[in-house]
Every structure is written in C-alpha cells, then in structure tokens.
C-alpha cells in the first residue's frame, strides 16, 4: 500500500469515497451505512481532521499506533499526520470533518486551535464520550451541517466556525473529565514517569559507564513518553492533571534534586555534576539551577559547607 499525500481536501474526500466538498477549504460528511472507508488507504493531508466513529472491524492507525476500537469515539489530527485505513466497518453512524488552516483566517480559532493539545494525541488516546457528551457533539455537527448545505450566505462561515470552536472547547472539557474518570489507570502515570526518569540515570552502558545521561544527554519528554507508550502531549497533559506540572517541569525538578544530592556529596565539581546529569553546557545547568533554587550551584554548595 503506497502512502498518498493529499494537497487538498477535495482530493482527500474523493479518495475516501465522499462527494466533492461544497467548500474547497472545509468539508463534513456523515459515516452511515456501508462505510466508504472499507478500502485500504495510507495518507497524509494538509488539513485538520475531526472524526467521530466507533469501529466494528478493520484497522485504523496513526503512524503505527492502533485506534482504540472498544472505547475510542473521537480523534483529532493536525495537518501532515499519517493515517492508515484498512477495511473499516463501523458499529454505528459517525462523522468526519476536514478543514484547512486557511479556512480559519479572520476567526479567533486561527490562533486558539494551536492551544488544543489533543490534536497531537495518538489515536489510541482517543476521546471516550458518555451518552450525554455524544449528544452534544452530534448537535454541534448537525448545526454545522445545516449551514454547510442549506443556501450558504456571508454568515455561514462564521456560524460554522463558532460551532466548530464550541466542539473543540467541549472536547477539551471532556478530555479533562476523561483524565479524572480514568484516574485509577492514569494516576499511576507520575509513578511510572519517575521510575523511567530514575532508570535513565542509573542504567549502565555496555562499557560500565555512568548511565544514559552522561553519554546521551538530558532525558527528553519524547523519550520518556516512549517508555510509557504514550504520546508526548498526552503524557504531559496527564501529568499536568495529576501533579499540576508538565513533563518538562518534572524533568527539571528531578535534575535539580539529583544535582543537590551530588553537591551535598561534595566530591564532584559543578562541571562534572552537569556532565553526569546530561548537560553539555555547564553554564546552562547553572542557569537552570538558579532559576529553580534561587541561588547558583556554587552558592548552594558554599552555603552547605558553612
């Protein structure tokens, strides 16, 4: 199966088996009855995708990550993300919305859409909706559908975007509810995160070295997310929900804690400590330390010795 890159929404809609869109920068389609998506297709497109579907059989992948068939209902992708469809059959009706960033020009959503982190989630981190939440999403879709099909005028685009904006705001709210509802599962995220972070510093290399940090540099959010089998943005949002801090903030706190312990031991120079922790640039380590602690590593060490 060859990967296709669709430059326009029209090309994508036709490839998926839908009619040509009424607006080249925006389309919405119902998924009802025999799915046009049963054909095999691997693609990327220069548009945003909002999709509501429950899969009965077949495969839907984001990169190499499978869609959560049993529970996932909605997913959101940014332009350029690779989606693979293999013989999909839906368990119930759904909808799909495609829109180009250019369609948002002149509306607050052009700026605000970049704040919605769920466009960076992987498909297995799809939004799980309650019956009431499903009703809300369908209501907003039908309102957009009415404006899309029924004698569009100069107000139609603004009205469609207001409903799309509402749909994304509700998605944000429902994801926050999902984090809370799944806390028995997601509540372990910070524990697993800290375990992976700790292992990064104690794991020895094949030559008996000091662990990953000294040889590979600072631990990244992407690396730790891969250890937890989560997308970086979803992991960071889960951690933010659990701890009030992002993944990067937690990494920094861990590094400072490790640095304090090494400074107390007193047998390493500040440059050696920076290198052991993965900093290639000791001044950057000192700046981060002072930002988090309020004093430089040298001042902190002097204070301990007095």
Mean of the pLDDT values across residues 16-23? 89
Mean of the pLDDT values across residues 64-76? 73
SS3 90: strand
Size of the chain in residues? 306
CA-CA distance, 277 to 184, in Å (whole number)?
Answer: 32
CA-CA distance, 266 to 274, in Å (whole number)?
Answer: 14
pLDDT computed for residue 112 by the predictor: 92
Does 281 have pLDDT greater than 60? yes
Does 215 have pLDDT greater than 70? no
pLDDT computed for residue 72 by the predictor: 62
Q: State pTM to two decimals.
A: 0.69
CA-CA distance, 116 to 64, in Å (whole number)?
Answer: 23
Domains present along the chain, CATH in parentheses: 3-181 (2.60.120), 189-305 (1.10.10.60)
Q: What is the mean pLDDT of the chain?
A: 83
pLDDT computed for residue 33 by the predictor: 59
Does 211 have pLDDT greater than 60? no
- Token pair for 184: 């028995």
| 224-280 tens-digit pLDDT | 988 888 888 888 888 887 778 888 998 998 888 888 888 887 778 888 888 888 888
pLDDT computed for residue 56 by the predictor: 78
Say if strands 41-45 and 74-77 run parallel, antiparallel, or are unpaired.
unpaired
Report which of residues 58 and 209 the model is more confident about.
Answer: 58
The label of the residue with tokens 């910070």 reads: 190
pLDDT computed for residue 209 by the predictor: 45
Report which of residues 259 and 26 the model is more confident about.
Answer: 26
- Closest CA relative to residue 143, chosen from 126, 158, 133: 158
Mean of the pLDDT values across residues 154-160? 90
Does 137 have pLDDT greater than 90? yes
CA-CA distance, 27 to 23, in Å (whole number)?
Answer: 6
Q: What percent of the chain is predicted at pLDDT more than 70?
A: 87
Q: Give the DSSP per-residue string, 10-22.
A: HHHHHHTTPPPPS
Under the phi-then-psi rule, with left for phi > 0, alpha for psi from -120 to 50, and beta for the rest, what region is 88?
beta
pLDDT computed for residue 51 by the predictor: 92
Phi and psi angles of residue 271, each rounded to the nearest 5 degrees, phi first: -65, -40
| 120-132 tens-digit pLDDT | 887 778 898 888 9
Lowest mean pLDDT among 26-30, 61-65, 138-142, 203-207: 203-207
Report which of residues 102 and 201 the model is more confident about.
Answer: 102
């Amino acid at each position: 199966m060859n990967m296709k890159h669709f430059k326009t929404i029209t090309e994508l809609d036709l490839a998926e088996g839908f009619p040509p869109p009424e607006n080249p920068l925006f389309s919405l389609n119902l998924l009802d009855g025999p799915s046009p998506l049963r054909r095999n297709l691997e693609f990327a497109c220069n548009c945003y995708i909002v999709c509501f579907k429950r899969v009965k059989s077949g495969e839907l992948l984001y990169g190499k990550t499978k869609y959560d068939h049993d529970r996932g209902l909605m997913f959101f992708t940014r332009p350029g993300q690779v989606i693979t469809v293999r013989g999909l059959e839906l368990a119930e009706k759904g909808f799909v919305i495609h829109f180009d960033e250019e369609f948002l020009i002149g509306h607050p959503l052009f700026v605000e859409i970049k704040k919605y982190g769920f466009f960076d989630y992987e498909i297995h981190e799809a939004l799980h909706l309650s019956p009431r939440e499903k009703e809300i999403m369908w209501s907003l879709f039908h309102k957009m559908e009415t404006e899309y099909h029924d004698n569009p005028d100069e107000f139609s685009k603004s009205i469609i975007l207001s409903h799309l904006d509402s749909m994304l705001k509700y998605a944000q709210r429902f994801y926050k509810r999902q984090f809370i509802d799944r806390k028995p599962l997601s509540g372990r995220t910070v524990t697993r995160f800290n375990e992976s972070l700790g292992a990064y510093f104690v794991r020895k290399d094949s030559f008996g070295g000091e662990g990953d940090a000294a040889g590979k540099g600072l631990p990244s959010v992407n690396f730790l997310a891969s250890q937890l089998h989560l997308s970086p943005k979803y992991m960071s949002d889960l951690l933010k929900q659990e701890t009030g801090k992002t993944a990067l903030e937690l990494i920094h706190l861990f590094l400072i804690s490790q640095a304090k312990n090494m400074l107390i031991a007193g047998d390493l120079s500040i440059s050696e400590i920076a290198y052991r922790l993965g900093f290639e640039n000791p001044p950057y380590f000192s700046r981060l330390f002072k930002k988090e602690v309020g004093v430089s590593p040298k001042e902190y060490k002097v204070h301990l010795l007095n």
